[in-house]
A and B are shown apart, each in its own frame.
Chain A
Amino acid sequence: MTVRFAPVFFLLGAILMLGAGPAWAVEPDERLADAVLEARARVLSKDIRCLVCQNQSIDDSSASLARDLRLLLRERLVEGDSDEQIFDFLVARYGDFILLKPPMKASTYALWFGPPAIFVLALIALIFFFRRRPAPESAIPAPLDGDERARLAALLDDDPQSTPAPPTRTANHKGERP
């Protein structure tokens, strides 16, 4: 097995080599004197992926490439680059992969709009669920007023048998037996 996967181990070796660099996340000597720029650098570097660590931001990583990128980022901030320009610079060299926040574009629409779409679909399903099984007023006894209910709940301790089943339930149930 060891022999068959040799290339993988070599690659892993290459990656580990970089990880063994001397730095430990942000080092004192990297930081900018300008507190505002430094704060911006920290925020930005949390959104940039450390490429050799597989899944860490350069802000958290001790890899030497991460350190190089942190230094580069700060240099560009000092030169007056905007956040946008810095991200563009990195993407041009490393691709979208370097951004921990995926850019909004055609290939990521499904990613960004998927979750809200699911949420909306689920809401629609919920509305259908309640519309299709209208709860007739007669089937559900009117609620007790707040005080009554509280007292009842306290007395009954929320026992499952405390709420008698409405008559419709039993009828439904009959039809359920296979």
Chain B
Amino acid sequence: MIAEIGHFSLILALVVALVQAIVPLVGAHRGDGAWMATAAPTALVQLLLIATSFGCLMYAFVTSDFTVMNVAQNSNTLQPMLYKVSSTWGNHEGSMVLWVLILAVFGAMVAAFGGNLPPSLKARVLSVQAMIGVGFLLFILLTSNPFERVVPPPLDGRDLNPLLQDPGLAFHPPMLYIGYVGFSMAFSFAIAALIEGKVDAAWARWVRPWTLVAWSFLTAGISLGAWWAYYELGWGGWWYWDPVENASFMPWLVGTALLHSSIIVEKRDALKTWTILLAILTFSLSLIGTFLVRSGVLTSVHAFATDPERGVFILLLLVIAIGGSLALYAWRAPILKGGGLFAPISREGALVLNNLLLTTAAATVFIGTLYPLFLEAVGGGKVSVGPPFFNATFVPLMIPLIIALGVGPMLGWKRGDLKGALSRLKFAFIATIVITFIAAYISWGRSVFGVLGLSLAGWLATAVILEFASRIGLGRAGSGDVLRRMAGLPRGAWGMTLAHLGFAITVAGASGASLWQDEVIQLLRPGETLSVVDYDFTLRSVDSVKGPNYTAQRATFTVRQNGEVITTLAPERRRYIVQGTETTEAALYTQWYADIYVVIGQSDGNGAWTVRLYFKPLVPWLWAGSLLMVFGGFVSLSDRRLRIGAPSKRLAAPEAKAPTAQPAE
């Protein structure tokens, strides 16, 4: 019964979405206020219906209702409650319902809080959102019904894929989807702007918060995925340039470019057609990512169970959504003219360079990810494009990006003073040289890339700090004055500083592992001790333990550093009963400068066990840096200027003579 309610709600949601897609759009075209006004209530009803449906599905999982095929295939009574809940989206069908739920939440937020939007823009934005919703609801209902029953029901379910039974991965998909789907807002705003034929600073302000939300969540989602790979897959790798990873990384790169180019639209009314294109591309890449993961056209370690029939459907959706929006772009974008002037050496110039490098980087990832497919399609045989390719092509693009990122915020708008900026970065040069020498000394002969990465990170971090210091007048004003200035600094500026600093720390973390990682792989008997760097690992015992839905071998290590006990680590090898698959649960101990990482392997049958011990310098910085980037995004989001409702007040204020900020409508 519950499942049928869920199914029926989805069908109703489709009907409502159809109304929401058509009526407000026609209304906006005719200038009919009543028709336009249908957008908001329909968006809210749509959210209600999809939330009901999602709730029903989750209820089926939580209560282990194995008459529902999806539950029977992806859950089990023995699973802990957390994983029963996360099983809801740990499969193709359920994850698509989550996808449309998030889409509906975003739509409803525009409906509820977008009171200051011009009615025609609001109507059009919500109509475009609903069109996306129609496409995906049809997809779910026609090819991936999560509420399908199974007769006769099995006694117990087949269990969630054990690799996904992990707290990190339980929350990874929702974060990622808020990111992916959040970019649909920028997309809808871009389409609405193309229809209206108008892009101005106010438009950029409305778009920016949505982009920031999406970007922050996508950053969090990607980091969470990398973190999971790091501790769950058992060899401490965190990024493999796998197609599925790339599928989430491409929207991130272009979305980051969008975040920066929309600043230029907002402050300088320039680069409008480019920004619109980025908004379309970011969401398009999210859609292409969805396609790649679910159609089976590429091979990947973590793809969904794929089905060509679904692939055809998603491809059709892609062609309509991306093809349609790019056609609209080709038709309408040329009428968006004008823009503020600026010299190549200026804040705008730096942001343009940022855009150029980020989009080129995204194009590089795109080519690398899809090349095997292209080559095979023209009968050119099969190739693999793996990490060595991306390291050789992507990484070099990050070098000028990071160098420029240190200078850019120091430059003035319109025409910057490069010499002045560089002279204020004197200390950053010195710091960079010092860091380079230290890194090269520690890691002599190991990795040029690692040293380069660390010196770039050092450059960026000191440049960011210097820029912040000069903003708050550090060294020029009294301490009270400095504090006052810090308090008065707009949240947007804080956000930028934090995010850029986070990026520097992430770069350092990514470089660290290649610099002086150490590993020992050896057979060890209980009581024996192994040393890695200055740590001594003593294997105390290996015991059999029983979890809720698995059995495991758990090793217990005592870890000493310079003779003193610092921690006890207990890595496990689990065998999940239902699927019979094994997973490794690495045990980690984090210090500020490194992780130590222990994995237990096979027994040799004579009382010894294979153990892998790793010393992973700076890896914790990866997570800290990513977290700081996300935090920076949210701080930026809390900026008064971006607060919903703020733009209209701004525009009404007499002193608001921002370039294009005429009251819209």
Chains A and B share a contact (CB less than 8 Å): yes
Q: Chain B: which residue is nearest A96 at the CB level? A: B383
- Our pick among A49, A119, A153, A176 for the contact of B386 (Cβ within 8 Å) is A49
In the complex, the answer to whether B416 meets A143 with C-beta atoms within 8 Å is yes
* Interface assignment of A40: CB less than 8 Å from any CB of chain B: no
Residue of B300, B472, B612 ringed by the most chain A CB atoms within 10 A: B612
In the complex, the answer to whether A158 meets B493 with C-beta atoms within 8 Å is yes
In the complex, the answer to whether B360 meets A101 with C-beta atoms within 8 Å is no
- Bound-state CA distance A98–B423 (Å) is 50
In the complex, the answer to whether B493 meets A157 with C-beta atoms within 8 Å is yes
Contact of A96 with B382 at beta-carbon distance under 8 Å, contacts A24-B610, A151-B473, A160-B267 already known = yes
What is the minimal beta-carbon distance from A91 to any residue of chain B, in angstroms?
11
* Interface assignment of A97: CB less than 8 Å from any CB of chain B: yes
Surface stretch bound by A, among B159-167, B311-319, B339-347, B448-456:
B339-347
Contact of A139 with B341 at beta-carbon distance under 8 Å, contacts A97-B384, A158-B493 already known = yes
* Interface assignment of B420: CB less than 8 Å from any CB of chain A: yes
In the complex, the answer to whether B338 meets A175 with C-beta atoms within 8 Å is yes
Q: Mark B649-665, 1 if CB is under 8 A from A, else 0.
A: 00000011111100000
- Our pick among A26, A98, A107, A163 for the contact of B414 (Cβ within 8 Å) is A163
Q: Chain B: which residue is nearest A142 at the CB level? A: B415
Surface stretch bound by A, among B83-91, B176-184, B232-240:
B232-240
- Bound-state CA distance A108–B421 (Å) is 42
Surface stretch bound by B, among A51-59, A70-78, A81-89:
A51-59
Contact of A55 with B299 at beta-carbon distance under 8 Å, contacts A115-B360, A122-B356, A166-B341 already known = yes
In the complex, the answer to whether A166 meets B386 with C-beta atoms within 8 Å is no
- Bound-state CA distance A97–B376 (Å) is 11
Contact of A160 with B266 at beta-carbon distance under 8 Å, contacts A97-B382, A98-B384 already known = yes
Q: Mark A104-135, 1 if CB is under 8 A from B, else 0.
A: 00011011101110110011001001100101
* Interface assignment of A18: CB less than 8 Å from any CB of chain B: no
* Interface assignment of B368: CB less than 8 Å from any CB of chain A: yes
Chain B residues with Cβ below 8 Å from A57 are 386-387
Q: Mark A22-49, 1 if CB is under 8 A from B, else 0.
A: 1111111001000000000000001101
Surface stretch bound by A, among B20-28, B216-224, B482-490:
B482-490
Chain A residues with Cβ below 8 Å from B383 are 96-97, 99, 102-103, 107-108, 111
In the complex, the answer to whether B301 meets A56 with C-beta atoms within 8 Å is yes
In the complex, the answer to whether B367 meets A54 with C-beta atoms within 8 Å is no
- Our pick among A99, A143, A144 for the contact of B384 (Cβ within 8 Å) is A99
In the complex, the answer to whether A111 meets B371 with C-beta atoms within 8 Å is yes
- Bound-state CA distance A142–B412 (Å) is 10
Q: Mark B413-447, 1 if CB is under 8 A from A, else 0.
A: 11111001101100000000000000000000000
* Interface assignment of A80: CB less than 8 Å from any CB of chain B: no
What is the minimal beta-carbon distance from B143 to any residue of chain A, in angstroms?
11
In the complex, the answer to whether A47 meets B521 with C-beta atoms within 8 Å is no
Contact of A24 with B584 at beta-carbon distance under 8 Å, contacts A130-B344, A166-B341 already known = yes
- Bound-state CA distance A123–B356 (Å) is 8
In the complex, the answer to whether A173 meets B359 with C-beta atoms within 8 Å is no
In the complex, the answer to whether A177 meets B198 with C-beta atoms within 8 Å is yes
Q: Chain B: which residue is nearest A131 at the CB level? A: B344
* Interface assignment of A100: CB less than 8 Å from any CB of chain B: yes
Chain B residues with Cβ below 8 Å from A92 are none
Contact of A28 with B367 at beta-carbon distance under 8 Å, contacts A130-B344, A143-B417 already known = no
* Interface assignment of B297: CB less than 8 Å from any CB of chain A: no
Q: Chain A: which residue is nearest B471 at the CB level? A: A154
Q: Mark B185-204, 1 if CB is under 8 A from A, else 0.
A: 00000000000011001000
Chain B residues with Cβ below 8 Å from A118 are 360, 363-364
In the complex, the answer to whether A173 meets B389 with C-beta atoms within 8 Å is no
In the complex, the answer to whether B269 meets A173 with C-beta atoms within 8 Å is yes
Q: Chain B: which residue is nearest A150 at the CB level? A: B470
In the complex, the answer to whether B386 meets A161 with C-beta atoms within 8 Å is no
* Interface assignment of B591: CB less than 8 Å from any CB of chain A: no
In the complex, the answer to whether B659 meets A169 with C-beta atoms within 8 Å is yes
* Interface assignment of B158: CB less than 8 Å from any CB of chain A: no
Chain A residues with Cβ below 8 Å from B339 are 172
Number of A-B contacts (CB under 8 A): 221
What is the minimal beta-carbon distance from A24 to any residue of chain B, in angstroms?
5
- Our pick among B420, B493, B655 for the contact of A149 (Cβ within 8 Å) is B420
* Interface assignment of B375: CB less than 8 Å from any CB of chain A: yes
Contact of A135 with B415 at beta-carbon distance under 8 Å, contacts A115-B363, A140-B343 already known = yes
* Interface assignment of B546: CB less than 8 Å from any CB of chain A: no
In the complex, the answer to whether A149 meets B367 with C-beta atoms within 8 Å is no
Chain A residues with Cβ below 8 Å from B658 are 160-161, 165
Residue of B240, B243, B414, B658 ringed by the most chain A CB atoms within 10 A: B414
Chain B residues with Cβ below 8 Å from A160 are 201, 266-267, 641, 658
In the complex, the answer to whether A173 meets B659 with C-beta atoms within 8 Å is yes
In the complex, the answer to whether B342 meets A140 with C-beta atoms within 8 Å is yes
In the complex, the answer to whether B360 meets A122 with C-beta atoms within 8 Å is yes
Q: Chain A: which residue is nearest B485 at the CB level? A: A154
* Interface assignment of A79: CB less than 8 Å from any CB of chain B: no
Chain A residues with Cβ below 8 Å from B529 are none
In the complex, the answer to whether A159 meets B490 with C-beta atoms within 8 Å is yes
- Our pick among A23, A111, A177 for the contact of B367 (Cβ within 8 Å) is A111
Q: Chain A: which residue is nearest B245 at the CB level? A: A55
In the complex, the answer to whether A28 meets B521 with C-beta atoms within 8 Å is yes
Contact of A140 with B397 at beta-carbon distance under 8 Å, contacts A47-B386, A169-B340, A177-B198 already known = no
- Bound-state CA distance A163–B415 (Å) is 11
In the complex, the answer to whether B301 meets A146 with C-beta atoms within 8 Å is no
- Bound-state CA distance A149–B493 (Å) is 16
Chain A residues with Cβ below 8 Å from B338 are 172-173, 175-176
What is the minimal beta-carbon distance from B244 to any residue of chain A, in angstroms?
9
Q: Mark B599-618, 1 if CB is under 8 A from A, else 0.
A: 10110000000101000000
Chain A residues with Cβ below 8 Å from B602 are 22-24, 27
* Interface assignment of B522: CB less than 8 Å from any CB of chain A: yes
In the complex, the answer to whether A141 meets B237 with C-beta atoms within 8 Å is no
- Bound-state CA distance A25–B332 (Å) is 55
- Bound-state CA distance A20–B413 (Å) is 60
- Bound-state CA distance A85–B5 (Å) is 64
* Interface assignment of B242: CB less than 8 Å from any CB of chain A: yes
Q: Chain B: which residue is nearest A119 at the CB level? A: B360
* Interface assignment of A178: CB less than 8 Å from any CB of chain B: yes
* A/B interface sample: 15 pairs, CB < 8 A: A25-B612, A28-B610, A60-B235, A98-B384, A112-B393, A135-B342, A139-B341, A140-B343, A141-B414, A144-B417, A154-B485, A169-B341, A173-B338, A176-B198, A176-B336
15 additional contacts (CB under 8 A) given A56-B240, A102-B384, A178-B198:
A24-B584, A24-B601, A27-B610, A28-B610, A46-B387, A97-B382, A100-B385, A101-B388, A140-B414, A150-B470, A161-B655, A163-B267, A165-B659, A172-B339, A176-B336
Interface, chain A (partner B; CB < 8 A) = 5, 22-28, 31, 46-47, 49, 53-57, 60, 95-103, 107-108, 110-112, 114-116, 118-119, 122-123, 126, 129-130, 133, 135-136, 139-146, 149-151, 153-154, 157-161, 163-166, 168-170, 172-173, 175-178
Q: Which 3 A-B pairs have the closest CB atoms?
A: A100-B386, A146-B420, A101-B388
